[in-house]
Chains A and B, each alone.
Chain A
Amino acid sequence: DAGVIQSPRHEVTEMGQEVTLRCKPISGHDYLFWYRQTMMRGLELLIYFNNNVPIDDSGMPEDRFSAKMPNASFSTLKIQPSEPRDSAVYFCASSLDTGIGQFFGPGTRLTVL
């Protein structure tokens, strides 16, 4: 299995631009998670899906952030408009059952100038 795939691996954009991050979970996994990692705040859960349905988005920082999962093999995290404080590494993870552990993608390093 190829594991969780994320694209792009690096993104540099200017403040005010729209940013879209993409994730392909491991085939057959029912759960998909989006995390943000920064030096200051560590690893934060933004939102997670079960069977393509958003279950808990309480970690989404504000309305500028949105996430979708149109099918079992694809999810997006969108930031519009982006701000410099959004600079972070964004991870996607998937699991068959959270009780057995989540599998993380390599992350997208976002820099907003």
Chain B
Amino acid sequence: GNSVTQMEGPVTLSEEAFLTINCTYTATGYPSLFWYVQYPGEGLQLLLKATKADDKGSNKGFEATYRKETTSFHLEKGSVQVSDSAVYFCALYSGAGSYQLTFGKGTKLSVIP
């Protein structure tokens, strides 16, 4: 079946540090990949996505590249801000007759001034 594995948190960084949150997946076919962000007290928001191998999704300074050879979709940001503190979820959609998203367990990021 489909699965998503994220690095366990929490992750604590100083402001302006470089961020990487690892995500690897197992899926049938050629899935679409997503990163969602959940700020405290809010619902999940779609941060970025990639629908085929070697695509790079980007938004708000965050980037992730769809690597089929390593089945990975790592999230990166060059310089984090305090406002980036949130929980980040990696997810995939494999199609193949199912319309569900498969989510990772989430990685909590705290950015300190």
Contacts and interface: CB of A to CB of B under 8 A. Distances in A.
A104 B100 contact: no
Given A4-B43, A50-B99, A101-B34, 9 more contacts: A42-B105, A43-B106, A45-B101, A48-B100, A91-B44, A93-B44, A98-B93, A103-B46, A106-B43
A107 B39 CA distance: 12
A16 to B, nearest CB: 28
A99 B106 CA distance: 20
Contacts, number: 47
Interface string B84-113: 000001000101001111010110000000
A101 B100 contact: no
Task: With a 10 A CB-CB cut-off, give which of B43, B51, B93 has the most chain A CB atoms.
Answer: B43
Nearest to A109: B41
A38 to B, nearest CB: 12
